[in-house]
């Protein structure tokens, strides 16, 4: 589950960064008319859903560095699929991001929280609501 959530988050994050840059380069009014923006919004929604799901069980300070893998993937896509030139500065940037992600993911995913009672209460509510169906 861990890996699956992470992977979907990362791939959606990558698509999101791609979509956002597509949406920003043309002028904003033209962007609304651009059909690729619709696809961008769709990816954004998918990213947002995956992001929210991951935030529900992991810390913000864990999830955010993990999403930045998207930047690295974007650069690799630019290099190998679009055959863009990736400058040494960018390789250093990619290296720094990867190091940062390694730091974050080598630790625990969430802070052990005491207010487990609250979660249990919500769970009980969910079960009773689900039971009525």
Partner 1 sequence: MRSVYAWSAIAAIVLTSAIGDVLLARAMKQVGDVGALWRRTNLWIVVGRILRNPYFLLGVMAMTVAFYSLLFGLSWGDVSLVAPASASLTFIANAIGAKIFLHERVDRRRWLAALFVAAGVALLAA
How many Å is the Cα radius of gyration of the chain? 19
Among 7, 42, 84, 118, binds partner 1 (CB under 8 A): 118
Question: Does 3 sit near partner 1 (CB under 8 A)?
Answer: no
22 contacts: CB under 8 Å, gap ≥ 6 = 34, 36, 37, 40
Q: Judged by CB, which is closer to partner 1: 36, or 121?
A: 121
Among 57, 79, 80, 81, binds partner 1 (CB under 8 A): 57
Closest by CA position to 111, among listed 36, 43, 42, 55: 55
- Alpha-helical (H) ranges within 25-115 are 28-33, 35-55, 60-67, 69-80, 88-105
Among 41, 42, 76, 92, binds partner 1 (CB under 8 A): 92
Among 41, 42, 45, 61, binds partner 1 (CB under 8 A): 61
Residue 130's Cα: distance from chain center in Å? 30
d(CA 100, CA 85): 24
Question: Does 80 sit near partner 1 (CB under 8 A)?
Answer: no
Binding site for partner 1 (CB under 8 A): 1, 5, 24-25, 28, 52-53, 55-57, 59-65, 68, 71, 75, 89-90, 92-101, 103-104, 106-107, 111, 113, 118-119, 122-123, 126-127, 129-130, 133
């Amino acid at each position: 589950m861990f890996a699956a959530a992470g992977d979907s988050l990362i791939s959606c994050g990558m698509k999101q960064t791609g979509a956002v840059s597509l949406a920003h380069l043309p002028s904003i009014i033209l962007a609304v008319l651009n059909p690729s923006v619709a696809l961008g919004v769709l990816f954004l929604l998918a990213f947002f859903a995956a992001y929210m799901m991951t935030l529900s069980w992991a810390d913000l300070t864990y999830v955010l560095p993990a999403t930045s893998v998207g930047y690295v993937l974007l650069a690799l896509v630019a290099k190998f699929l679009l055959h863009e030139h990736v400058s040494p500065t960018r390789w250093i940037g990619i290296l720094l991001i990867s190091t940062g992600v390694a730091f974050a993911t080598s630790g625990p995913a969430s802070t052990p929280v005491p207010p487990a009672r609250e979660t249990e209460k919500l769970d009980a509510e969910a079960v009773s609501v689900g039971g009525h169906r």
